[in-house]
Amino acid sequence: MGEFLNYTVNGALIGLTYALVAMGFVVIYRASKVFNLAQGELVVLGGFIVWLMMIQLDLPLIIGLPIAFLCAGIFGFLIDRIFFSRMAGQSVFAMVMVTIGLMILLRGVVLVAFGAQVRQFPAVFPVFPVIWGDFLIPQAMLYGGVITVCVALGLAWFFNRTRAGLRMTAVAEDHQVAMSLGISVRRSVIIAWIMGSMLATLGAIIFLSNRSISFITSEIGLLALPVALLAGLESIAGLILAGILIGIVQGLAAGYLDPALGASVSSVLPFVIMLMILFIRPTGMFGWKTIERV
């Protein structure tokens, strides 16, 4: 029973971390209708900025992290200005191709700027786990889970209660309708990229705290993909549920199926669930259904 609880709780917490990374996908998709395949690379870039501030420049946490978030926001802004503002009116396919190009470019930038070495990532959260008998929770994961839920609530409030957020929600519904209402789509897209980039940095901090970072860390983006697609690409709150679901399934599979079958079933299962759900409900569990009048 103790082990079952361990796998379930730890799985749920890891799933929440995936949900946080997946929020970057969703925020950008809602505003620009672009599925950002370079989200994993944004996580790496954000992580390396944190590494630069806290390990290389040895800045204290309270100064290093705000500067890292500021830099991440500026990167998000620049990405939009340089690549996506020029793509206004282009097809979704063209936009996705640009994100693939961005992914390759960012990987190269990270390699040139920070090298290929595996680097020490600072310990942002307490390193010792919470242990009650057989029950163990790493504190980074615990803090990460709480932060993810808070960020999701904050974003839900932002998108539903603030003027800027409501504008972005209108943009997410339909660009042309939003423009006809006098809403600046370009401004919403810029804000989305800034938010997406900052969320990626937050994901890096939680996922990598007290571990290591290298350019292959971008794999995190791939791990978050089933959560984003399972939730549906428009729902922030749905990400929490999808993250917990995927995390628990993965945790239990790692605890019971992997040792029994001698294979990494846990790494495949989230994608199997994602495909099954998408077969039944292509918009994901909480994605918006579009009804078009012909």
Distance (Å, whole) CA 170 – CA 176? 10
CB of 13 to other proteins, least distance (A): 9
* 16 touches other proteins (CB under 8 A): no
CB 35 within 8 A of CB 29: yes
Site for other proteins, residues 188 to 247, rule: CB under 8 A: 207, 210-212, 214-217, 219-220, 223
Q: Which of 20, 141, 240, 248 binds other proteins (CB under 8 A)?
A: 141
* 56 touches other proteins (CB under 8 A): no
Q: Which of 28, 140, 185, 205 binds other proteins (CB under 8 A)?
A: 140
Distance (Å, whole) CA 241 – CA 261? 28
Q: What residue ranges in 157-252 does DSSP mark as E strands?
A: 212-213
**Interface mask toward other proteins for 66-105; x: CB under 8 A:** ----------------------------------------
Distance (Å, whole) CA 155 – CA 150? 9
What 3-state DSSP class applies to 147?
helix
- Return the range that interacts with other proteins (CB under 8 A); candidates 79-87, 163-171, 228-236, 263-271: 263-271
Distance (Å, whole) CA 193 – CA 34? 10
CB 72 within 8 A of CB 197: yes
* 115 touches other proteins (CB under 8 A): yes
Distance (Å, whole) CA 240 – CA 293? 32
What residue type is assigned to position 17 of the chain?
A: T
* 142 touches other proteins (CB under 8 A): no
* 51 touches other proteins (CB under 8 A): no
Distance (Å, whole) CA 223 – CA 39? 11
Report which DSSP code applies to 127: S
Nearer to other proteins, 73 or 138 (CB): 138
State the residues that interact with other proteins by CB under 8 A.
3, 6-7, 10, 14, 17, 107-108, 111, 115-120, 127-129, 131, 134, 136, 138, 140-141, 207, 210-212, 214-217, 219-220, 223, 254-255, 258-259, 262-264, 266-267
